[in-house]
Structure 1
Amino acid sequence: MLDPNQSDYIAEEPAILRGLLSFRYRLCIVCTEVKNLKHWLAE
């Protein structure tokens, strides 16, 4: 028999993973922007 808290956790996990993925995606975009800016400033 599954613990009710356990099933809630399983139900919420995909949302948490999606949140982490979108956060990492935004972080990558920011890193790319910073690199472009540094490159542009260096020229």
Structure 2
Amino acid sequence: MEEKLIGIFYWLVLIRILRLLLVKPLLDLLWKQTPQEYRLEERN
């Protein structure tokens, strides 16, 4: 049982790290793009 729990915990941590590595850059890109678009719309 303990080995299974450790395995599940290991996978959860791995998935969380992968999510941070993949999602954070995507969110940063979206965050950088969106305000600029809004600013351009405001100028026009």
TM over 0.5: same fold?
yes
For structure 2, the residue ranges without an aligned partner over 5 or more in a row are 1-5
Structure ranking higher in helix proportion: 2
Q: Partners in 2 of 1:27 and 1:20 — Cα distance?
A: 10
For structure 1, the residue ranges without an aligned partner over 5 or more in a row are 38-43
Root mean square deviation of aligned Cα: 1.5
Deviation digits for residues 9-40 of structure 1 (CA, Å, limit 9, x no counterpart): 21231210110110011101111101110xxx
Q: Which runs of 4+ in 1 moved over 2 A?
A: none
Q: Partners in 2 of 1:22 and 1:13 — Cα distance?
A: 14
Identity %: 5
TM-score normalized with structure 2 length: 0.62
Match of 2:38 in 1: 31
User: C-alpha displacement at 1:4, in angstroms?
Assistant: 1.2
